[in-house]
Amino acid sequence: MFALDARSERIVAILLAVLMAATRIHHFGIGTVAPDASTAVFFLAGLLLAGPLWFAVLAVEAVVLDAVAIGIVGVAAACMTLGYWLLFVGYLALWYAGRLGRASERLDVATGGKLVVLAALGVAVFFVLSNVGYYFGAGYDESLGAAEYASRVSGYFPMYLVTTLLYAAAGVAVFAIGVRFLSHGRLAAR
Q: Rg of the chain's alpha carbons, rounded to an integer?
A: 18
Task: Please report whether residue 1 resides in a domain.
Answer: no
Q: What is the pLDDT of residue 100?
A: 95
Angle at 20 between CA 31 and CA 174, to 5 degrees: 115
CB count in 10 Å sphere of residue 186: 9
Domain count, the chain: 1
- Band (169; pLDDT cuts 50, 70, 90): very high
- pLDDT grade for 188, boundaries at 50, 70 and 90: very low
Kindly tell me if the per-residue pLDDT of 172 is higher than 60. yes
Q: Give the range among 15-19, 103-107, 115-119, 162-166 with minimum mean pLDDT.
A: 103-107
Whether 168 is covered by a domain: the verdict is yes
Whether residue 85 is contained in a domain is answered as: yes
pLDDT of residue 27: 52
Confidence of residue 86 (pLDDT cuts 50, 70, 90): confident
161 class by beta-carbon count within 10 Å (0-12 exposed, 13-18 middle, 19+ buried): middle
Please give the residue range of the domain that contains residue 118.
6-189
The pTM score is: 0.87
**DSSP states along the chain:** -----HHHHHHHHHHHHHHHHHHHHHHTTS--SSS--HHHHHHHHHHH--STHHHHHHHHHHHHHHHHHHHTS----TT-SGGGGHHHHHHHHHHHHHHHHTT-SS-SHHHHHHHHHHHHHHHHHHHHHHHHHHHHHTTHHHHS-HHHHHHHHGGGHHHHHHHHHHHHHHHHHHHHHHHHHHHHHHHHH-
The answer to whether residue 55 sits within a structural domain is yes
pLDDT digits (tens, 9 = 90+) for 15-44: 999 999 988 865 544 445 678 899 999 999
